[in-house]
Chains A and B, each alone.
Chain A
Amino acid sequence: MNKTGTASIWQKYLRIREVNVFMALVVLIIIMSAASPYFLKQDNIFNVLRGMSTIGIMALGQTMVIITGGIDLSVGSLLAVSSMLTARLITVHDQSAFIAVLTGLSFGLFLGIMNGLIITRFKINAFITTLGMLSIGRGLTYLLATGVKGSVASNIPMQNGFIVFLGNGYLGPVPFSVVLLLILLFLASLFLRHTVPGRYIYAVGSNERSARLSGVPVNKVRVFVYAISGFFCALAGIILTGRLSTAATNIGLGNELDVIAAVVIGGASLQGGEGTVTGAIIGATIMAIVRNAFVLLHIPNHFQTITIGIVIILAVGFDQLLKRKVKNL
């Protein structure tokens, strides 16, 4: 094969956005495997994947939001409020798990729709709207947590078998939450790549004006992505409640940064129009492996926080470097 042909194939592969970030993941896995004999153990791999599954599920929705050029800062709070609502319905109001889960998911969806409607109808910046919703969601969580014991927010224990299974159950050797994440990843990827609404999401983020002129229902698309984000947050919240056997008032605190970091590491552009759900899940996995490395490699205390920052910059920088290389080929 001649040089031009090789370059062309190389170029073709590197244009697939996930490939760059996947290569970063492979490098990280090789380093970790060499550094710790425990890293590739089945137990450890599933622990890492289970740990990242809730961030991953939220990253699916956040990716769609970011592709449209928006941002959802309220994810951690929406996770918390749905978790608390579901737990409260079961533990305090004796509702069935089915009703409680359905209500929790619907409430996440509803708050997501509210985000979308406020952004599109009142033309309030997504950053501000979802920042406001972050506060509202956390406040609602505290509100739902009170009344159980006085007016101080209390955690609600959760022993319901179905909810515990969602967070802690296994299908064969694989944690259920990981299986669910993979199914959702497949569906979301299919949706974004092969359906008209999926292509609309990219169109809105690439050039809103052109999309509007081409007949794309821009506002509906925007409301839709925030609704999906809210729904996925609620699902992640219910899974986390099961894993911890508790709906905690501080659950999901600060998750917005992890979720956005995963999406951006995965190759999405904060300007909109670019990004894939597969990339986001790879990004979330990279973050989870780095946290796993803190334990496996005995990384000293204060270097742990520094490491997270370095990995985010390196992963995105690696992606940019490869992109420039491809252009120059």
Chain B
Amino acid sequence: MLIFLLILNYSCQRSASHRNSRTLPEPPPYFSEGRAEDQGSVMPVANRKNEHIKIAFLAMETNPWWTPVKAGVMEAKELLKEYNTEVDWIVAGDRHTADVFGIAIEAAMAQNYDGIACLAGDEGMIPFIKKAVDAGVAVATYNSETNKESARAFFIGADNYQQGRACGEKMAQLIGGKGKVAIITGFFAVEAHELRRTGFKDILSEKYPEITIAGEVENIDLADIAYTQATDFMSSFPDLAGIYITASGQFGAANAVKDYGKKGLVKVVCHDFLPETMGLVKEGVIQGVIDQSTKLQGRDTVIRLYNYIAGGIVPPFGKLLLDTPMATPDNVNQYWPD
């Protein structure tokens, strides 16, 4: 038993000293933000010391949103094989909260990963990220992080507030700048959803005073609840002009519009290029879907994390904002060919 503990202690010290021997560069200012010129085309740099590098991408596999993320990570994994780098897609759990992802960070540290990519939409993640960075592990966040500063090196994702504003602008165009609009949001308690919701409302109140909000409800990301809520809105507001859905369950609301016989009459604007949403865009039920370059959240995060560790390459901004294309019935085939 004593021998086992000694061996364990030695291994831990060895791995810790291996990580600590690497000096990570100073990350960019936390709140600096912008679009990287090489978005989607960033390539791996030379592995200066040709050391073996291990990167853990902490993720979930609970819904279709993750399919393009995983595709992006796998693309990066293939690219990095030539650079003596191992990339592992690790399913942290089925919730993106700190109790799940924090434990996954600790587990990745125990497995001697040199870099960790994770979601950080929960402030509870901050101490876990600090622990990893203090131990010499480079951490990058993707998709969501809180406004409170953490020790991560950089973030890659879309600007949720601007996405909300873009959706508001699209809705206003669709309904001719006047009418009643309903908002179905995922969770009032999720920062990303709130940013989208407030962005949507802000643009309407700033530029389109003749548009009123018929109501705001949360569907806890569930399609069946969104379906019922959309139907409720349409029956209680016969003159309803549009519905904006901030998060998941979009197809529930869109199907309700179709079933209620209001296809094209009640405009639907929502998020994320998914088979369910894009099919409904092609049918003309959804008039606008904004994307968040989901695949790049996997690909670019992994490659930039490698470049940061192996080449000391510091990204131009702390928050690397991704493009957010909008698919409409007119251009849907460009983004989602048959």
Contact = CB atoms under 8 A, between A and B. Distances in A.
A291 to B, nearest CB: 7
A295 B64 contact: no
Contacts of B99: none
Interface stretch (B30-38, B118-126, B223-231): B223-231
B276 A246 contact: yes
A251 B251 CA distance: 12
Interface in A265-309: 291-292, 294-296, 298, 301-302, 304-305
Interface stretch (A59-67, A145-153, A209-217, A319-327): A145-153
Nearest to B259: A168
Interface in B141-199: 182, 188
A66 B223 CA distance: 28
A147 B214 CA distance: 41
Interface string B227-242: 1110111011000000
Contact of A149 (B64, B221, B222): B64
A47 B252 contact: no
> Chain B contact residues (Cβ within 8 angstroms of A): what range?
35 or more
A254 B220 contact: yes
A248 B67 CA distance: 14
A154 B228 contact: no
Interface string B244-262: 0000110110010001000
A294 B231 CA distance: 13
Nearest to A295: B232
Contacts of A248: 63, 222-223, 249
B275 interface: yes
Contact of B224 (A43, A142, A244): A244
Contacts of B182: 295
Contacts of B228: 47, 50-51, 291
B70 A151 contact: yes
A54 B228 CA distance: 12
Contacts of A292: 232
Interface of B: 61-64, 66-67, 70-71, 94, 182, 188, 214-218, 220-224, 227-229, 231-233, 235-236, 248-249, 251-252, 255, 259, 274-276, 279
